[in-house]
Chains A and B, each alone.
Chain A
Amino acid sequence: MKFGYLLVIAKNKKIDYLRLAYALALSIKITQKPGYDKVALVTDDTESVKQLRSPWVFDRVIEWNEKQFWDGRSWMDELTPWKNTICLDSDMLFFRDYSHWVEYFLKSETELFVPSTVYTYRGNTVVDDYYRKAFVFNDLPNLYSMYTYFKSDSELSRSFFKLNRHIVSNQDEFKNLYLQKHKPKIIGTDESFALSSKILGIQDEITYQLDFPKIVHLKPMIQRWPWPADTVSDHVGFYFDLMGQLKIGNFQQQNIVHYNEKTFITEEIVSILENIIWKK
């Protein structure tokens, strides 16, 4: 298969990541045109997938239980069944057809792309570095791994992910070597991607100025509000309608939303998305 999305989840006591991934896969199937709507799920619990009302939204289900939590995404290049993949965080939703973004990557034979620009719910570019101290102090490229495009047969991708896995597996060593000016508690995927690209000297090849992907990042302290905030939903309403469209505050969301607040995906939202897909 030429192109598909990849979601990597693991069981978690507090958060039902399968529900989030299911909602995302439903939204992909609703909005993307054929050929650009394939979704593969990597999970350590395939039995739960079978319990879903529409498990067919996952075109491939891959059982894998070697790593927990977000570490699994460092193996995305080895786990993907697609020749060209966009690996997404599971706490995201699609609202319109974004296949033209994918077409650009396919036609330009992009080997690896990781965005370095995200947006507020009001459509402004995020400029606040509140959550990015390790990046600023250690002069790392400002990468967001939530939407990672890669080509499986690319040497560049292979080197990048191989080093990334090494970083994730040897966190203390890399913190001491490269993150001395501001040490994060753990090296997350964003930090490890940034370190990999910096060490390999490929940041300009894998992230550059593009008008897409447009991803709304709903962390509260970067929304350009004039006061501090703990959560976005404390301050603006999330209005999800029966057409599967989302309004946040006074703003209709047209771009991919990375909602962060895991409780946003309720059974009701899943039901709305299921009803839309069943009628499609």
Chain B
Amino acid sequence: MKKGVVIFAHNSREVDYALTSVVSGFLAKKNLEVPVTLISDTSTVEWMDKSNIYDKALRVFENIIEVDRPVYENSRVLHDGINSKTVPFINANRSDVWKLTPYDRTLMIDSDFLIFSKELSEFWDSDVDLMISPAMRDLRGDRIGYHDIWVSDEGIPLYWATTVMFTKNSKTRLFFDLVSFIKKNYSLFSEIYRFRNTIYRNDISFSIAKHIFDGYEFIQNNHLPEVLTAQDKDLIHSFYDSGLRILLSDPISESASSIVNLKGRDIHLMNKESIVRISQDILEKI
């Protein structure tokens, strides 16, 4: 059974997802010791060439698969420390991973998820066909809102599609077809599951599909680990071989009040600009 990691990256005018995907791919390959495939689009790949990271991308990725750029375009406010801007993000084609992955057992990760441990390797040989992270764990511990846990006030638990592992078979094909169906009928599902549909969220589509897949129940086990997350107001201070130092923002004062030394722990970094800023330190290792 061929195992590997898949990362999606479609650049927007504001965020260099191509760059973050090379960083994320490099760390995934190094720490999980499996090949990594990038799924991207022509303009993003061309940008890699222009920004002189294409050679590095070729060394990191086993395959670079070009697909049509998704037409779905969301925008949301992203912070970079105390600064913020509204940025578009293009990520609505994750449900295509089943068709696109070259692997029998795939770990799909977000391009802002940096792997520094072997923890996810424990799940390659699991006989559970599909595993998703059931929760986000805030790095500081006290910055989780109700809707980081639940899709809606009375509704289902929110899974975090930051990490998804699956075996390519007919059962998981059904799952990803279902995610695709939910995406196409997002407005209808927002009525049934009572969430705001102003922006499309993969996490919500995956959560609904998982809920339906599990027989409209929350299954307590067979999940990937919780996604340890640094908020977008947090700033990466520095990178070193086995981890990061991160300045944590205080939700009240909004200033960076403490620093955490994160060693050997996988981390979801919502502050994309912060990854871009430290990327040169990581790219030097490639």
Contacts and interface: CB of A to CB of B under 8 A. Distances in A.
B215 interface: yes
B182 to A, nearest CB: 13
Contacts of B168: none
B218 interface: yes
A249 B155 contact: yes
Contact of A252 (B146, B155, B215, B220): B215
Contacts of B156: 122, 250-251
B146 A251 contact: no
A247 B217 CA distance: 10
Interface SS, B side: loop
A250 B153 CA distance: 12
Nearest to A121: B154
Contacts of A227: 153
Interface string B189-222: 0001100000000000000000100011110100
Contacts, number: 33
B216 A250 contact: yes
Contacts of A250: 155-156, 192-193, 211, 216
A124 B154 CA distance: 13
Contact of B216 (A223, A225, A236, A251): A251
Interface in A101-125: 122-124
B38 to A, nearest CB: 35
A260 interface: no
Contacts of A252: 215-217
Contacts of A226: 146, 153
Which interface class (under 10, 10 to 19, 20 to 34, 35 or more) fits B? 10 to 19
Given A226-B146, A250-B193, A123 B154 contact: no
Contact of A254 (B153, B192, B217, B220): B217
A51 to B, nearest CB: 37
A231 to B, nearest CB: 13
Contacts of A247: 216
B157 interface: yes
A247 B193 CA distance: 13
A226 B218 CA distance: 19
Interface string B212-256: 000111101000000000000000000000000000000000000
A166 interface: no
A249 B153 CA distance: 11
A107 to B, nearest CB: 25
A33 interface: no
Nearest to B147: A226
B153 A225 contact: yes
A235 interface: yes
A249 B157 CA distance: 13
Among B154, B157, B216, B218, find the residue whose CB has the most chain A CB atoms closer than 10 A: B154
Nearest to A252: B216
Interface in A214-258: 223, 225-227, 235-236, 247, 249-252, 254
Among A122, A225, A235, find the residue whose CB has the most chain B CB atoms closer than 10 A: A122
A123 B214 CA distance: 13
Interface string B144-155: 001000000111
Interface in B166-206: 192-193
A227 B152 CA distance: 12
A252 B218 CA distance: 9
Interface string B45-82: 00000000000000000000000000000000000000
Nearest to A236: B154
A226 B152 CA distance: 10
B123 to A, nearest CB: 23
A104 B240 CA distance: 54
A123 B215 contact: no
A254 B220 CA distance: 14
A263 B153 CA distance: 24
Nearest to B145: A226
B218 to A, nearest CB: 5
Contacts of B220: 123
A249 B154 contact: yes
A124 B156 CA distance: 11
A50 B146 CA distance: 51
Interface string A190-223: 0000000000000000000000000000000001
A123 B216 contact: no
Nearest to A224: B150
Contacts of A223: 154
Among B211, B215, B217, find the residue whose CB has the most chain A CB atoms closer than 10 A: B217
Interface of A: 122-124, 223, 225-227, 235-236, 247, 249-252, 254
13 contacts: A123-B220, A124-B218, A226-B146, A235-B153, A235-B154, A249-B154, A249-B155, A250-B193, A250-B211, A251-B217, A251-B218, A252-B215, A254-B217
Given A250-B216, A251-B217, A252-B217, 7 more contacts: A122-B156, A122-B157, A122-B218, A247-B216, A250-B192, A251-B156, A252-B215
Interface of B: 146, 153-157, 192-193, 211, 215-218, 220
Closest 5 A/B residue pairs (Cβ): A252-B216, A123-B218, A226-B146, A236-B154, A250-B156
